[in-house]
Amino acid sequence: MASVYVWDKVVRLTHWTVAVLFLSNFFLLEEGSELHEWAGYLILVAIGVRLVWGMMTASHARLSAFKPSVPKAIAHIREVFREKRDDHVGHNPAGAVMIWVMWSLIILTALSGWSMEEKVFGNKDLMEEIHEFLANLTMIAVTLHVGAVVLMTKVTHKPYLQGMLPRRRADK
């Protein structure tokens, strides 16, 4: 099996923090509960840490290393299915588009939830509909993301998930 880039600790920690908290909020925590709200705030903090880290690091996690481009993503997907390989280190062009889409949707979901509870726009029912729509759209993006990781692993034989898993001492 092909080797895979191993993401640094900050990337792995923020990734799994956002993943666990978002999925908990979506499936487990009661809508509007204090735990639901705090999970949303912690998600924003984790994404904020990741974005700041992305401006500071010199690794492939640097934000400028994966600028989103839909035409490049489409070309990349065609190339992967034609060549059956992915030679990118870090985010490939399709992954770059997906991560920016997910970050944007998650931030908008959290902000819409906050504005609903704080009555920022005065129409709680409308904000609740927007919040639920954004949460569902985010779940669609998350499902596509996970599906793409599985599909890309099958097509390229590159173990993408391993790069996001915690490292044992022997693996370092």
Q: What is the pLDDT of residues 78-136, one digit of tens each?
A: 999 999 999 998 899 999 999 999 999 999 999 999 998 887 888 889 999 999 999 99
Q: What are the tens digits of pLDDT across the range 17-38?
A: 999 999 999 999 999 999 999 9
Mean pLDDT of all residues in the chain? 93
The Cα angle at residue 163 between residues 10 and 51, in degrees rounded to 5: 30
What pLDDT score does 170 carry? Answer: 44
Instruction: Give the pLDDT band (50/70/90) at residue 73.
Output: very high
What pLDDT score does 5 carry? Answer: 79
pTM of the model: 0.91
Q: Please enumerate in sequence order all residues whose Cβ is within 8 A of that of 133, keeping only pairs 6 or more positions apart, or say none.
A: none
What pLDDT score does 3 carry? Answer: 67
